[in-house]
Every structure is written in C-alpha cells, then in structure tokens.
C-alpha cells in the first residue's frame, strides 16, 4: 500500500513552483488518493543575485536547502531542473526518477530583433551561463555578453526596461511558464549545445527510502535517464557543471546512444567538440570526456 501523504521540497520561484505542481499532478494521476504537500524554501542561489554563480559556488546553491530538507526528514522528495543539480550528490541522496525530456534548446528573446544574427556590433546580450557565452562569442565575436541573474520573469522584465538588446534563455522554462510568445527564435544545437540535463526534471529522495523510490518510479523515462546519465558522467570526469563552459547532449540514434560533448574558452576562440555513440551511458560519457581532454579541454578548464 503506497504512502498517502508525502512532502515535496521546492524553491519558490514561479518556474520551480510550476515544476513542483506538475510533478504533484503527474503523481496523482497514478495515485489519486495521494496528498502531496509543497514545502517552499528560499535557497542561497535565490538570495545572491548580484554575483555571478561561478564566483559563489555554482548552481548547487539552488539545491542545497532542498537536499537538507530531505536529509533531515522535513521533506520526502525534491524536484530539480537537472541542469541545476551538481554532478556529485550529498551522501544518502539519489535522483530516483528523471521525467521525459522537454525541449532542450536555448532561445533568443528580444523586443527589437528576431535573431541573434541581426544584433549590431557591441549589442548587449544577457545570459548567466558561461557555456552559452563561449558558444555565442565563437559565432558572434562582435557582441557584448553581460551576466544576468534572477528568475525568468525578472530577466525578461530587465529586457523590457531596455537594459539588454536580447537574452538567451532555456526554451523549457519559457514554455512551462506560458511565455512561449516571448521567444524571438530558437537556437539550433549547432549554435548552442545545451547544458547536461537541460529540459529534464529530476526527483531526488533518500537513498534508503525504498517506499518513496517505488512510488516515484512511475515518473521515470528510461531514454531520458540514460541520456542524462551519459551527459553527467562526461561532466563529472571533466570536473564541471553549468557554471563552466561545458555542454553535453545525448539522445538515442537507432539502437545506440549518441553523446555530443563540448568545452570552450570564455572568449569563444577555442571550441572543442566530440561526438561518440555507445550503449553504456556512464562509459560513453567517460569516453567523450577523455577525448575532449586529449584535445586540450583540461588546459581550457584549468585556465578558468
């Protein structure tokens, strides 16, 4: 007999609450009698908005308080965007379910231009991601990239105040918030390879809570899980997440998993890209990382 009541820890941004409510709704489709209580928390990443994330500890600052709530028993599960989850989890916790991947692409948002190609020299483009900065400067070295933090609504409001000529955001976040009409154009995977886990919601729980693991297993999407495991294995070997210029994207191609990995310099002058296929996700991720290291990725990352 499954549990009747569980507590779900979530950040309190509009997007995080959308994600938490979506997971609650999906669980209740399978368990109509299940009561899912949301525990809203403010993370350190939500508080420190005036500093670049890579200078204060990376995106792990968005999950730490949620993970502590699970470990101390205040919550049973937490929902994260997988691109925000550090490559190494705290002892005693696991990602027990990865939901089917939504749109993994980055998008260009502007009030005056349809595409990035239209931006004039020295136009200011806002993004909080060094991964995006590296790839976009490689294609458009004449642009000026500036760091922008805050939730999606906050960033778009700053665009509307003419602080930026355009923004680069994740397609998934805008679509989930019903803001698809703000998208000026989509970036191809060749223009901007996503962060590991982009577009994927992960559900975290205690490693020894087998009842909860069984309960949330209905949300797991096998192909997505395999893809994200490959992406994260590559990043773990390279020693980086979203706050270094590393990109990774895997998907099934016929009978095998294909993983594309990228490491770039901050100025975009050097981009290393490797693509391989395989059947073992972790092994594939390791192999792509080793090829990138052989091409000089270590020197680029160490220079940061």
Catalytic hit among 46, 76, 84, 106 = 84
* Among 227, 287, 297, 294, residue whose Cα is nearest residue 262: 297
Q: Helix, strand or coil for residue 55?
A: helix
Give the whole-angstrom CA distance, residue 181 versus residue 199. 18
Rg over alpha carbons for the chain, rounded to the nearest Å, is 19
Q: Is 84 a catalytic residue?
A: yes
Q: What's the CA angle centered on 216, arms 96 and 259, to 5 degrees? A: 40
The CA–CA distances, whole Å, from 66 to 2, 11, 62, 144, 205 equal 23, 8, 8, 35, 10
Give the whole-angstrom CA distance, residue 128 versus residue 53. 8
Instruction: Tokens 């994927």: give the residue.
Output: 200
Give the whole-angstrom CA distance, residue 41 versus residue 205. 16
Where would I find the H helices in 164-219?
Answer: 171-176, 210-216
| Chain centre distance of CA 293 | 23
The CA–CA distances, whole Å, from 72 to 208, 248, 292 equal 13, 33, 39
The CA–CA distances, whole Å, from 221 to 96, 102, 249, 267 equal 11, 11, 16, 37
**Residue 108 is encoded by which pair of tokens?**
């260009």
* Residues in contact with 254: Cβ distance below 8 Å, sequence separation at least 6, in sequence order: none
User: Which active-site residues does the annotation give?
Assistant: 84
């Amino acid at each position: 007999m499954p549990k009747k009541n569980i507590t779900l820890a979530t950040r309190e941004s509009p997007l995080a609450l959308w994600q938490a409510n979506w997971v609650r709704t999906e669980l209740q489709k399978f368990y109509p009698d299940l009561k899912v209580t949301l525990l809203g928390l403010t993370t350190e990443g939500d508080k420190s908005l005036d500093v670049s994330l890579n200078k204060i500890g990376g995106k792990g600052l968005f999950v730490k308080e949620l993970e502590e709530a699970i470990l101390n028993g205040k919550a049973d599960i937490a929902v994260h965007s997988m691109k925000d989850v550090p490559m190494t989890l705290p002892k005693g916790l696991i990602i027990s379910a990865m939901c089917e991947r939504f749109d993994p692409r980055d998008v260009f948002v502007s009030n005056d231009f349809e595409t990035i190609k239209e931006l004039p020299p020295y136009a200011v483009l806002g993004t909080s991601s060094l991964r995006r900065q590296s790839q976009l400067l490689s294609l458009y070295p004449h642009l000026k990239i500036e760091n922008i933090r805050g939730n999606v609504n906050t960033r778009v409001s700053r665009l509307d105040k003419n602080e930026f000529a355009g923004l680069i955001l994740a397609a998934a976040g805008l679509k989930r918030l019903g803001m698809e009409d703000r998208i000026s154009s989509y970036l191809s995977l060749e223009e901007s390879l996503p962060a590991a886990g982009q577009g994927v919601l992960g559900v975290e729980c205690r490693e020894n809570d087998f009842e909860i693991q069984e309960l949330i297993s209905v949300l797991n999407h096998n192909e997505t899980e395999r893809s994200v495991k490959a992406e994260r294995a590559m990043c773990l070997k390279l020693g980086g997440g979203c706050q270094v210029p590393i990109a990774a994207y895997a998907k099934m191609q016929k009978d095998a998993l294909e993983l594309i990995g990228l490491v770039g310099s901050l100025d975009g002058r050097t981009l290393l890209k490797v693509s391989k296929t395989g059947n073992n996700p972790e092994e594939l991720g390791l192999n792509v990382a080793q090829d990138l290291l052989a091409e000089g990725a270590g020197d680029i990352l160490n220079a940061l």
